[in-house]
Amino acid sequence: MSMVNIGIPTAEFLASVREALGRADEPPASPYAPLQDDLAALTERAETVRERVARELPDLSRRLSETAALRGWNVARCGGVEEALDYVVSLAKQLGATSVARSEQAVFESVPIDAALAGVGAMCWPVVYHGPDCREAVRRRLAESGMGITGADYAIAETGSVIVLPRQGLSRLVSVVPPVHVAIVRPQDILDTLDDLFALRRLEFHQNAARGNGDMGSYLNFITGPSRTADIEQTIVVGVHGPREVHMVLLDEE
Amino acid sequence: MAEVATREFVPASQAAVRDEQLRQALRRAGSGFDGTRREAIAEVTEDVWEDWRQQARSIKEHTIAHLDYYLAMLERNVRAAGGQAHFARDAAQANAIVSEIARQQGVRTVTKSKSMVSEELGLNHVLEEQGIDVFETDLGEYIIQLAEETPSHLVAPALHKTRGQVAQLFAEQLGVPYSEDIEEMARIARVALRQKFLEADMGISGANFLVAETGSLVIITNEGNGRLCTSAPRIHVGLAGMEKVIPSLQDLAVFLRLLPRSATGQRITSYMSMVTGPRRADDEDGPEEFHLVIVDNGRSRLLQDPALRESLYCIRCGACLNVCPIYQRVGGHAYGWVYPGPIGSIVTPGLVGVAQAKDLPNASTLCGACRDACPVQINIPRMLLHLRRQQAESDDTNQRTVSDTDKALAQGFATVMSSPWLLRLGRLVGRALTAPLARSGKIRQTRLPLVSRWTRARDLPVPAGRSFRDRWRDELSKGGN
């Protein structure tokens, strides 16, 4: 770990900010409402979200697929696992992908993608690292893969986004390095709004903090459509540094 | 700190308006961004939009008023997540912090995703002097790095370049065949940078928001370079102005709705990444170290003046640039520093010193389009007027933009305007003096004594034959009520 003590000490910096504000060292006189939430309040809000989402699921699923399509996803609504497997396999065939990277997530226990892809001669492999030595090898292999497949930790109907929380089994790179990304979304992943998502994330953060482990993971990533740029003459080009093509496989039931 | 050329605003803007390629680029970009922004607002309806603006405004008001409190909370939570937060008073300190991390870690290659603060600090040059290869990876930033230029817009750094200019630049600098095909140019950048992402030791990013509650850094991008910069190298350094903090994760929702719509008219960008500390022990990948460098660099001067404090609510969407009649004609470079346009004309004097940038508050028609476009309802014209008044009243001749003659003229104008009979007399005398010089009621570009600074760039109308007061009286008597 780098030990750098070049900036000014925190206390001194904060004192100068306080001086500019003409404030004394004290918390806000009127406390900020969201930060007053205790675990009970956060739990209650999260439960309300879960109940509402469960109730409105058919509608949310339809809205998710519509919004996602508008934001650049290729959306495939699949009635079951077989249909989903067929979609991914024909996509791999069409792309001529011989190497397909995937995460190691629970969704692949019910969606046996490796065997299905092997049937058409595509090698599907999990992006997991075993020690630092294999880092370069995994990255090289990833760079050569024609497709990356992940599950979704959440999907949001309001924005048409898939949210992934990289962790053990779920590499940060598998959804950004290959030129095509496929996200498999299960009904239980779907939420309505951004507010729903942050309500659930806050609960998890504060639950962990209460256990003395103030942690909700190192990374959270929203993915909404393909990688794109408009930096030259405001002309939109897809597939700059991330995938040029993204597919949302929406399972109606698992 | 990045080179400051703000004193050159007048000659630079005069040159800019004669640059036909620049005018073309500005016309296309301004109408494009603003058109999609308006569509995006219409889609959610004005009422909802106003509600979001109000929410965002309240969050910023509260946070900036208690900035010390939220920065302390942020620092604690960055540390709790296994990262380090560093505080820098000025550019030199911030650059020294990043240099020292790079030195200790033996960093040879750095990939960067877009950061305006880094532009402000002039960080690239400092790292390069240390023998480090620095690669900008946002396509627009990559283009201007190759061209050895600075950004001309907050969200579209290479907005001033035409496709032909980029094609020429790529051919010269990268040795690729000349191609004006934009898709091909994006592919060239992808190929050139792909290997750099995977071999870089350090990734540097900016921050759109910092969440105090969780100690997180949030970046909003479209290309995917931000994801690679924060995922692949073994060290991640985030740079942020101290005003970027928001209290709670819950607050992020409204800004995620406002920022992309205001910036490019997108409903949401392709990517939003939230970084909370370095990789955890059992994560598959991610940096081993996370450093957050929080920069003052003159911001406390803006904080200190209650009349200018709201300039720190800015979320750098660039909407005010896209609607500004001045920016749309002179472009970003004329402003002479990192932050152009209406908001830049307040932030820049604050950060580099008023004496360095006294033309900027005057580079506005005060039409108010910037205030209407701002997603955080920042009253930019009010602050520009405040700065002008400060300049006019200053005893320091370095800060003053107003000559004694100007002052006498303004005082004379005020005296005349507050007395009906003097105004009447002035109109008659003025008309008698100027009518012989006029064509179709206007004096064009004549060098009149005293007012030549006005007539050099504008027409001077001849006072009307009948005054508004006369006509008003007649209208009233005609209407019979």
Interchain contact A81–B (C-beta under 8 A):
no
Least confident of A109-113, B168-172, B389-393: B389-393
Q: What is the least distance, in Å, from the CA of B411 to any CA of chain A? A: 35
Q: What is the mean pLDDT of residues B7-13?
A: 92
pLDDT digits (tens, 9 = 90+) for A27-75: 898 889 999 999 999 999 999 999 999 999 999 999 999 999 999 999 9
Residue B247 has pLDDT above 90, yes or no: yes
Q: What is the pLDDT of residue B411?
A: 87
Asked if A137 is an interface residue toward chain B (Cβ–Cβ < 8 A), one would say no
Q: Report CA dihedral (B265, B271, B275, B278) to the nearest 10 degrees.
A: -150
Length of chain B measured in residues: 481
Predicted TM-score of the model (pTM) = 0.93
Task: State percent of chain A over pLDDT 90.
Answer: 83
Interacting residues of B231 by C-beta distance below 8 A, sequence separation 6+: A166, A172, A173, A176, A219, B203, B285, B286, B287
* Per-residue pLDDT at B324: 96
Across the range A96-101, mean pLDDT stands at 96
Tens of pLDDT along B67-97?
999 999 999 999 999 999 999 999 999 999 9
Residue B14 at interface with chain A, using a CB cutoff of 8 Å: no
pLDDT digits (tens, 9 = 90+) for A180-205: 999 999 999 999 999 999 999 999 99
Residue A7 to residues B125, B130, B292, Cα–Cα distance (Å): 19, 19, 11
Computed over every residue of chain A, the mean pLDDT equals 93
Over the stretch B102-123, which tens digit does the pLDDT of each residue have?
999 999 999 999 999 999 999 9
Put simply, whether B304 touches A (Cβ < 8 Å) is yes
Contacts of A7 in chain B (CB under 8 A): 86-89, 93-94, 97, 293
**A13: nearest CB among B25, B66, B87:** B87
Predicted confidence band at B420 (pLDDT cuts at 50, 70, 90)? confident
CATH class given for the domain over B6-300 = alpha beta
Determine the pLDDT at residue A132: 63
- Does residue B436 carry a pLDDT above 90? no
CB contact under 8 A, A8 and B89: yes
- Which residues of B fall within a CB distance of 8 Å from A6? 86, 93, 96-97, 100
- pLDDT tops 80 at residue B395: no
Residues B365-392, mean pLDDT to the nearest whole number: 95
196-215 of A, contacting B, C-beta below 8 A: 197-199, 201-202, 205, 214-215
pLDDT number for residue A26: 85
| Predicted local distance difference test score (pLDDT) of residue A254 | 55
- Region of A132 (left: φ > 0; alpha: ψ -120 to 50; beta: rest) is alpha
Mean per-residue pLDDT, A154-178:
97
The pLDDT score that the predictor gives to residue A188 is: 96
Size of interface A-B (CB pairs under 8 A): 287
Closest CA to B146 of B154, B155, B135: B135
Cβ–Cβ below 8 Å for B80 and A214? yes
Chain A contact present for B40, CB below 8 A: no
Mean pLDDT over residues A220-224, rounded? 98
Collapsing DSSP states into helix, strand and coil, what is residue B84?
Answer: strand
pLDDT digits 0-9 by tens, B345-367: 999 999 998 888 989 999 999 99
Among the residue ranges A124-138, A207-221, B236-250, B449-463, the one predicted with the least confidence is: B449-463
The answer to whether the CB of A175 falls within 8 A of the CB of A143 is: no
Q: Write out the DSSP string of chain A.
A: ------SB-HHHHHHHHHHHHT--SS--SS--GGGG--HHHHHHHHHHHHHHHHHTHHHHHHHHHHHHHHTT-EEEEESSHHHHHHHHHHHHHHHT-SEEEE---THHHHS-HHHHHHTTT-EEEE----SGGGHHHHHHHHHH-SEEEEE-SEEETTTTEEEE--BTTB-SSTTTSSSEEEEEE-GGGEES-HHHHHHHHHHHHHHHHHTT---S-SEEEEE-SS-EE-TTTT--EE-SSS-SEEEEEEES--
Whole-angstrom Cα distance, residue A151 to residue B86? Answer: 36
The confidence band for A211, taking pLDDT boundaries of 50, 70 and 90, is confident
Specify the pLDDT at position B399: 67
pLDDT given for residue B452 in this prediction? 67
pLDDT of residue B449: 63
In chain B, whose CA is at the least distance from the CA of A177? B228
Whether A233 and B163 lie within 8 Å, measured CB to CB = yes
Q: What is the pLDDT of residue B446?
A: 60
Amino acid B394: pLDDT: 80
pLDDT cut 70: percent of chain A above it: 97
Average pLDDT, rounded, for chain B: 92
Domain boundaries, chain B: 6-300, 419-478
